[in-house]
Amino acid sequence: MKTTLAGARAGWLRCMPAMLIATVLLSGCATTKSPDGTVNNDPYEKTNRQVYNFNDSLDRNFMRPVARGYRHITPEPVRDVITNFFDNLRYLNVVLNSFLQGKLNIGFSDLLRFIINTTVGIGGLFDVATPMGLPVHEEDFGQTLAVWGVDQGAYLNIPLMGLNTARNVPNYGSSYVTNPITYIGGLSFLPLTVLSLINSRANLLDESEFVDEASIDPYTFTREAFLQRRKFLVHDGNPPSEDYDELFDVEAGDESVLIIE
């Protein structure tokens, strides 16, 4: 299972064109236009709902109980340190995508953040960079493709992986190749990955309880919230909020759903 860094890099470079082509193809066929011109961003709703129910059932019966147990036995400061550690390892994907989007200042700030947290922050256990004026950013390959002009594509529910858009699917690849855990061979790879998953799930327990509490149709609720959140990230926290105002301009007879591109 041991993979060399150079080998993986070469593999990644080989994969890039395929990933891009796949994205463009997916995006191209992913949204459908109805006769009145409105875009359906969930053309696979029937399948998505089935996958959503499968993932939800798995989550309720397995992941949530495990995450609750983990949260119960792990003190919050310890969980914070573990979260910092894995966030730092994942941060190279942010660094890469900041540069790929041409945000040089942010890219260098992110790179410096990674270096400082890895060294001064003892392998990323402590976030010492934020108080130093190097804030955390959220960038991924889906956002990079958005900046490059690729359409969002269809909303997808992927078995075991959760929610995504067609445009953001290649981010699985870029996250994988930029995460140092990928290159750790032998016995420590599996427990680290498992801990990372459980810790991430534990950090989202409040959010899933919120969905249970607030929604009357959890599938639609999570889809809308997810797509709006993606738009928010693509626009670096400053999406054109005018889009939402248009809901007030439609007549009472119109039921068009707000389109998030």
Partner 1 sequence: MIFFTSPLKQHLPGQPISMLPSLPLLLVLLCLSGQVQSLPDSEADNEAANLTVTTLHNALLEIMQQADVLGYDGRVKIMQPVIATHFNSRRIAEVVLGRHWAGLDEAQQEGFVRLFQQLSTATYASRFAGYDGESFHINTTERAKRGRLRVKTELRRPGKPSVTLDYLLQPTHGQWQIINVTANGVSDLSLKRAEYTSVLKENGYNVLRDKLAAKVHALEENARTMTKPVE
Binding site for partner 1 (CB under 8 A): 136, 206-207, 209-210, 213-217, 220-221, 223-225, 228-229, 231-233, 235, 237, 239, 241-242, 244-245, 247-250, 252-258
Closer Cβ to partner 1, 154 or 177, answer by number: 154
As beta bridge partners, residue 162 has: 158
Closer Cβ to partner 1, 35 or 191, answer by number: 35
Report the distance separating Cα 102 and Cα 147, nearest Å.
9
Please spell the DSSP secondary structure of 128-141, one letter per residue: -TGGGT-------H
Cβ 242 to partner 1 shortest distance, Å = 7
Rg (CA), the chain: 20
Cβ 1 to partner 1 shortest distance, Å = 37
Closer Cβ to partner 1, 54 or 244, answer by number: 244
Cβ 220 to partner 1 shortest distance, Å = 4
| Cβ-contact 167, 41 below 8 angstroms | no
Closer Cβ to partner 1, 183 or 221, answer by number: 221
Largest CA distance in the chain: 62
Cβ 111 to partner 1 shortest distance, Å = 21
| Cβ-contact 26, 169 below 8 angstroms | yes
Cβ 214 to partner 1 shortest distance, Å = 5
Closer Cβ to partner 1, 193 or 215, answer by number: 215
Closer Cβ to partner 1, 73 or 245, answer by number: 245
Burial bucket for residue 213 (CB in 10 Å: 0-12, 13-18, 19+): exposed
Report the distance separating Cα 23 and Cα 152, nearest Å.
9
Q: 112: closest CA among 125, 100, 94? A: 94
Report the distance separating Cα 45 and Cα 156, nearest Å.
8
Cβ 89 to partner 1 shortest distance, Å = 20
